[in-house]
Structure 1
């Protein structure tokens, strides 16, 4: 995967940035707690549940741009910048838990008047999605879609791995800074076949990380365990890029088995499938929203 120059990246970013501003623009939602959430939204409200998109650790709401616009042709779709990302207020403390992220999500959905939603979690967003669906959102979430879910390192058997991941992530941020992390992230998140436009978009999204929010998210990754949320009351499905090296297909299939969930590969995609294969991701989101219309209410 060849690196792209700054000039090439600037040229490749003109079209998506213009589209972002025109059709998936950011707005700020002020919450009763005094916090704020940066939100992007598209599509039209219908008789089905809204679709709520939760991004991964090295990304942000804008990363969903193309997949969201396509899914928005048939549903109301929104994506947040997680707490501590973009203009969203960070959570309290240095090491917030998945329950803290779930509480902020709950406050947002209440403020937006969303009583039923399909929750889509990509990578680290899967930990937030499942924490919400098993707790505060148990009666609000109609369906959970996990895309390349991060399993977390919170299990007792993961002590050594947890310490290693925490140390490596912190050291990389300290040594490289956000800019350095963003420059190398496309090689990790995309398949070797990814085009220059996808690489530029992954890098642009990663370059917007806020160090403090990123370090809180590292603690979330280290303290959470996706296995804690097995047995959710609503249908769950798991998807994974067939070339994903971060959360490989075999690992994602194990999560699907644990959740008694359906499992499917996204062809021609690495970890950042919403960017690399937005059409395929939009199709699975749209299908989940349509299926949720017929799902029985629970709670």
Structure 2
């Protein structure tokens, strides 16, 4: 039964948590400036670096990562202010702040070549890091944007409205309240109970201050201004996504000069809900 009221929002079977820690373990990577970035990693081969959205974390990539562990070294970060990652300094950060932390992580891991994946808000960081002239662009061999959030930086009225709505929800119901209902928007009716539990579990682990910074990134970011990127790109979206619907993602794809690729039977968190087609897409990216 896919009823969010039946299963406690933060509950996961102990076997699922044990599998996460055993197969996709977390570690803290020291980076320049005295900061650390928490990452989860598995597999070996060409590097794939995965950036999550505003309501998630590194652990959300578990199923996709395990499907790819014989093909690639899959690295998922907890964005600045998420998990045990050091937040960026500004409480009103820009994409440049997050991209600089990403660059520091890539340096610390010694990655000379990688595929970069940006989901939702992560696409804003990925887009800035991949733009022509970026110091990281030469090391990104391919870019994949999944359900990209374009940001509201060019739309002042929308930016103010979204900031007010997001921060009001945080103040009114808190992280726990947001987590209890998060799967209703992030997943489609096709999602199973395990996917719903993972979405709630990841959201329940948000940090208040890190989330507030991420809201500012969303409201001030402008992905379209950084496109097209300096390397080959593919743009995908869950066919049933109601957060960044296909028509909006199609605008991002058009700016990149590529077709939008739809992921069937998937909502916004497509890689949680339908990891097999997302992993297949990434295998195609690696082959290219």
Q: What TM-score comes out, normalization by structure 2 length?
A: 0.96
The yes-or-no answer on 1:5 pairing with 2:2 is no
User: Cα RMSD between the aligned structures?
Assistant: 1.3
Q: Give the C-alpha shift of residue 4 in structure 1.
A: 4.1
2:137 aligned partner:
138
Determine the C-alpha separation between the residues in 2 that align with 1:93 and 1:117: 28
> Aligned in 2, Cα 1:143/1:170: closer, same or farther, shift over 3 Å?
same
Counterparts of 1:176-215 in structure 2 under 5 Å? 176-215=173-212
- SS of alignment partner, residue 53 of structure 1: strand
8 Å CA contact 1:40, 1:80 repeated in 2? yes
Q: Which of 187-196 and 121-130 deviates more?
A: 187-196
**Aligned partner (choices 62, 66, 77) of residue 65 of structure 1:** 62
Residue by residue, what CA displacement relative to the aligned partner does 1:147-188 show, whole Å, maximum 9, x if unpaired? 000010001xx1110000000111100011100000111001
Residue by residue, what CA displacement relative to the aligned partner does 1:195-241 show, whole Å, maximum 9, x if unpaired? 11111110000000001000000000011111111132201110011
2:40 aligned partner:
40
Counterparts of 1:225-244 in structure 2 under 5 Å? 225-244=222-241
Determine the C-alpha separation between the residues in 2 that align with 1:160 and 1:7: 36
The yes-or-no answer on 1:247 pairing with 2:261 is no
8 Å CA contact 1:236, 1:262 repeated in 2? no
Determine the C-alpha separation between the residues in 2 that align with 1:16 and 1:215: 29
1:294 aligned partner:
none
Q: How many residues align?
A: 285
8 Å CA contact 1:102, 1:136 repeated in 2? no
> Aligned in 2, Cα 1:8/1:112: closer, same or farther, shift over 3 Å?
closer
The yes-or-no answer on 1:265 pairing with 2:266 is no
> Aligned in 2, Cα 1:160/1:31: closer, same or farther, shift over 3 Å?
same
- SS of alignment partner, residue 34 of structure 2: coil
**Aligned partner (choices 58, 69, 74) of residue 71 of structure 2:** 74
- SS of alignment partner, residue 285 of structure 1: helix
8 Å CA contact 1:235, 1:261 repeated in 2? no
Determine the C-alpha separation between the residues in 2 that align with 1:78 and 1:130: 18
The yes-or-no answer on 1:23 pairing with 2:23 is yes
8 Å CA contact 2:9, 2:201 repeated in 1? no
1:170 aligned partner:
167
Residue by residue, what CA displacement relative to the aligned partner does 1:17-48 show, whole Å, maximum 9, x if unpaired? 12111110100101131000001111113xxx
> Aligned in 2, Cα 1:182/1:9: closer, same or farther, shift over 3 Å?
closer
Determine the C-alpha separation between the residues in 2 that align with 1:177 and 1:243: 27
Q: Give the C-alpha shift of residue 84 in structure 1.
A: 0.1
Unaligned runs of 5+ in 2: none
